[in-house]
Structure formats: C-alpha cells, structure tokens
Amino acid sequence: MASAICSQKDYKVVPGPEAYLSPAAASMGIVLPEKGQGLIEGQIVSEKVAMEAIAKKLLGAKNPTFFPGPNVLWAVSEKAVAKAVALQEMVKAVPGMKIIPMPDYRPKYPMINPEVEINPNHPNLTIWHNEIDVCVFAGVHCHYANLALKIIRGGTDCYTIALCANPGHEDAMISLRDVHVEDIRRLTKVIERLREGSK
C-alpha cells in the first residue's frame, strides 16, 4: 500500500477551514523543531524568526486572544505562577488582546459558555462566537493542545500560535518550543519593539 505520508514541502499548516477531519500535521510529514528552532506553517525556522512572526501576527490582528490552559491558570507551583505573570505581561503588550481561559479539559454538558471559556472538545465555538482571528495557546497539556489546534484548523479561519514548554506543536501555525519565563519576556520585548517601531 502506498504511504499516506507526504513530504514536508507538500503540506502547509495554514488557517482553515481545512476539513471536518483535518489530518494531524505530523501524519502529513511536518516534524517538530530542534532546540533553538520554531515552526511557521510547518516550516522549521530559527526561534528568532518565529518570535518576530508571532509579534507581527498579534499586532496585526483584529481580535487577538490568549487562551491560558490549566498549567498556568492554576497556582500549582512557583514556576506556574511566574509563567502566569510573564504571560499577562505579554498580553498587556498587545493592544486589545483578550484572555479567554481553558480551566480544564472535561466536556461540559449541556453546553459551555463560549463567551467566558474555551475547551479542547469544542474550541471552534469560542472562536466563532468571539470572532477571534489570531490566538495564542500556553499552559495546555500537549495532547489537549493538539486536539484543540486540529479542531480549530478543521473548522475556523483562526491563526493559531502555540507557546509550548515542551517540543512544540505541528498543528499550530506558529509554534515555539521550550518556552519558559525568560522566553516569554523575550517575546514580549519583541512585541514592544515592533509596536513602537510601527507608531
């Protein structure tokens, strides 16, 4: 049987809607970046280039939104608290950026309130309802981030950015890896520099 795996140059991780069951980017040949690198639409770039691209996307967005996950929303450790503070500084650097939390991953019945929360099982509802064009994920456990990112690509035209503490996310349009407090502060500085430069 012929392999369904395509080479990386054939596939781009771009905003959808792609398909009801969009393929996992990894199954289309997209590979994770090495340390010091990032991903832009499936292509490996340097971390610096990825940070500049994130800043541009956020500053150019109509409705940029930050989705903090349980790893930063809940004060489970000093590390989590420090990261939460750094992420809030990043949000302040982007004019008009909103925060919509992902407090846990459990499916909510009969429905979630898309105005006040996002959930990996139906992230598209929150994005449609709030007309979000660019979003940032941080503090979401890997498998739930992958699930949410794939559903977003499948059903919305939102541009997704993942600030990952581990090796990154192929299913986000831009992904950084090994993101800790000092990296978030560096990203905030890039955002501030570009914002000041564009005045």
Partner 1 sequence: MIPKISPGFEDVLPVEYRELVQDGSYGRNLRIKDLGTFKESIEEHPLCAGCALSLSIRLIVASLPCPEDTIVVGTTGCNSILMPQLAIHNIHSLFGNQNAVASGLKRALKIRYPDKHKDVVVVAGDGGTADIGLSMTMHSWFRRENITTIMLDNEGYSNTGGQESSMTREGVVLYMAPLGKKYPKTRMFEIARESGCAYVAAVSPASPRRLEKMVRRAILVARAIGPTYVQIYCPCATNYKFSPSETLKRTKDDEQIREYMSSDAKELIERLGE
Binding residues vs partner 1 (CB under 8 A): 68, 72-76, 80-81, 84-85, 88, 99-101, 103, 106-110, 113, 116-117
| Edge-to-edge strand ranges of the sheet holding 159-163 | 43-46, 37-40, 174-176, 159-163, 134-138, 64-68, 98-99
> For the chain, how many residues are written?
199
Using the minimum distance from each CB to partner 1, give the nearer residue, 20 or 109.
109
In 3D, which of 16, 39, 44, 53 has the Cα closest to residue 149? 16
Closest CB 12 distance from partner 1, rounded Å: 33
Using the minimum distance from each CB to partner 1, give the nearer residue, 14 or 81.
81
Closest CB 74 distance from partner 1, rounded Å: 6
Using the minimum distance from each CB to partner 1, give the nearer residue, 107 or 197.
107
In 3D, which of 132, 133, 142, 135 has the Cα closest to residue 179? 142
Using the minimum distance from each CB to partner 1, give the nearer residue, 173 or 191.
191
Closest CB 9 distance from partner 1, rounded Å: 39
> Which residues 6+ apart lie within 8 Å of 155 measured at CB?
16, 17, 20, 124
**How many C-beta atoms surround the C-beta of residue 19 within 10 A?**
10
**How many C-beta atoms surround the C-beta of residue 164 within 10 A?**
23
Closest CB 79 distance from partner 1, rounded Å: 11
Closest CB 75 distance from partner 1, rounded Å: 4
Using the minimum distance from each CB to partner 1, give the nearer residue, 43 or 63.
63
